[in-house]
Amino acid sequence: MKKYDIIIIGSGLGGLTAGAELASTGQHVLVLEQHYQVGGSATSFKRKGFIYEAGLHMTGQVDKGSDQYAFFKKCGLLDKVRFIPAPEFYYLKGYDYDFNFGNDLEDNIQRLNEMFPDEIWGIKKYFKTIFAIHDQAMEISKKEGLKRFFALMFSPFRYPKVLSSMFQNIGKFLDKIIKDERLKTILLANIGYYGDNPYTLSFLFYAIAQTGFYRKGGSYIQGGSHHLPYALADYIKKNNGDVLTSMQVTHIITQDSEAVGVEYVPKKQKDHSIAPESAYASIIIANTAIPNVANELLNEKDALPLKKKFGKMTIAPSIMTVYIALDKPLKEMGNTRYSSNYYDAKDFSIKDMASLNRSDFYTRPYILCDYSQIDSQLTPKEQGYVVLSMMDYYKDWKDLSDEEYKRKKERASAIMIDRVCENFPEMRDHIIRVEVATAKTMKRYLQTPEGTAYGFDQTPNQAILFRPSVRSPIKNLFFASAWTLPGAGFGGAMSSGHICAAEIKKDLGITK
């Protein structure tokens, strides 16, 4: 019988972070990953000398002195994972206006004031409120358990911004303080990092997530985002753990409704009559999606509390990605930005954002990430790599036949390439290879419902205090992923891993 202290289902950043934290305290960790490489969304793949970045466009910085920095240092990640600053937060290109949101906040505000002189009060109010929410939320987050709850509920004068933003959406807040729809669009341009609709996106979550980028800018992991999960997996292995890839967990074993182990099979196993392998541990961590745990991995009776608690929660959209390898960098064809958000539709209001994100590929807003603007080290010298990404929906693909699916993908990438070529006509002659990943691709690789990489929607009633905690209702079963508090993204999933490990350490009486 295989026996471990901790078993982790899935090797996304949440699972690996929790695994590395626990392995560092001497816990014997097993990670089981169904894909042939670790990382989940934090991944890349190779094609003819190019590294195709599949999951990272921008993440926050790892600041010296921060808890994250201490964790990277402890796990020896600082030498293996190099964050390089993105030259700007984002550039927005609207139908007849544009704005570059650079890394200098004061300069951004000054240029916004000059562009929208009637909105100076609203611009000031926007940043003041966002930062106040963030700073108050960080203060509360430093308090322990129940104290955190009481701090919030009984100190309305100390944390007024957090309380007032908790039940609000960002769209409504912007409508209250700003009239110009172009200004609102500029401020919301990167909404795709968090969801597709400003009127259902939690203001509190948005403010916390945006502030880091506003104050410190973003960064990219040189050579590909896979370096981070690879380094975490190495650390777990060096600390007496096992990381097994191509292993599908099929069942969480329970005894008297407590999680005690897992069953798993090799992913490619054709012969279903071969019995699955079992491994046992006193703690099981699900990095796989929470709905998978409820609907696929637990027996019906044990799954009931999970279904009751989370069954009605809505799931965030997926992402469609068009990867384009070029024989010449796009920056030599006129592009000057790393991260550009294109909103090509004319005269729309932010009330139309959700429908635009669901519209045909001719009008769907997209982000163009030009990795040749930084020293990404993804391509051979003198060549280029760009990625187009936009919101995507599994329902649009799931019922298509193989042939229809292929044709729809080809049509989507042709339209998207035409749209890029309107701005950079020369690009068409330099395309070496195009690959497309849809919501259906994401579902296949990540095994998430709807192919999401963001977990549950960050609506006000599903965000922050209302988001699933890392403790599941099943004894000894924990969660560490984008599906829990705080949420998705590299930073969010890793935070979930840290919180999960901290709770487990508390239970096990580990103080280091």
Ligand X SMILES: Cc1cc2nc3c(=O)[nH]c(=O)nc-3n(C[C@H](O)[C@H](O)[C@H](O)COP(=O)(O)OP(=O)(O)OC[C@H]3O[C@@H](n4cnc5c(N)ncnc54)[C@H](O)[C@@H]3O)c2cc1C
Nearer to ligand X, 348 or 490 (CB): 490
> Interaction with ligand X in 281-300: which residues (CB under 6 A)?
287-288, 292
- Asked if 249 touches ligand X (CB under 6 A), the answer is yes
For residues 392 and 450, what is the distance between their CA atoms, to the nearest angstrom? 9
Tell me how far, at minimum, the Cβ of 8 lies from ligand X, in Å. Answer: 9
Tell me how far, at minimum, the Cβ of 348 lies from ligand X, in Å. Answer: 24
With CB under 6 A as the rule, give the number of residues binding ligand X: 40
Tell me how far, at minimum, the Cβ of 54 lies from ligand X, in Å. Answer: 6
Q: What sign has the CA pseudo-torsion 56, 248, 313, 18?
A: negative
Tell me how far, at minimum, the Cβ of 425 lies from ligand X, in Å. Answer: 27
Q: Determine contact, residues 199/320, Cβ cutoff 8 Å.
A: no
- Asked if 169 touches ligand X (CB under 6 A), the answer is no
Taking CB under 6 A as the criterion, the residue among 7, 10, 217, 224 binding ligand X is 10
List the one residue out of 195, 202, 176, 198 whose CA is nearest residue 187.
198
- Asked if 488 touches ligand X (CB under 6 A), the answer is yes
Interacting stretch for ligand X, rule CB under 6 A, among 64-72, 89-97, 327-335, 445-453?
445-453
- Asked if 61 touches ligand X (CB under 6 A), the answer is no
- Asked if 217 touches ligand X (CB under 6 A), the answer is no
- Asked if 86 touches ligand X (CB under 6 A), the answer is no
- Asked if 339 touches ligand X (CB under 6 A), the answer is no
Rg (CA), the chain: 23
Structure tokens at 101: 């949101």
Nearer to ligand X, 228 or 326 (CB): 228
CA 272 to chain centre: 34
Taking CB under 6 A as the criterion, the residue among 453, 500, 501, 504 binding ligand X is 453
| Buried/exposed code over 417-428 (b: 16+ C-beta within 10 A; e: otherwise) | bebbeebbeebe
Structure tokens at 467: 């988001």
Strand-pairing partners, residue 194, are none
- Asked if 495 touches ligand X (CB under 6 A), the answer is no
- Asked if 40 touches ligand X (CB under 6 A), the answer is yes
Backbone phi, psi, residue 275, to 5°: -65, 140
CB atoms within 10 A of CB 9: 27
Structure tokens at 55: 């999951």
List the one residue out of 332, 340, 333 whose CA is nearest residue 369.
340
Residues that bind ligand X (CB under 6 A): 9-15, 32-35, 40-42, 55-59, 248-249, 287-288, 292, 319, 321, 389, 442, 446-448, 453-454, 481-482, 488-491, 493
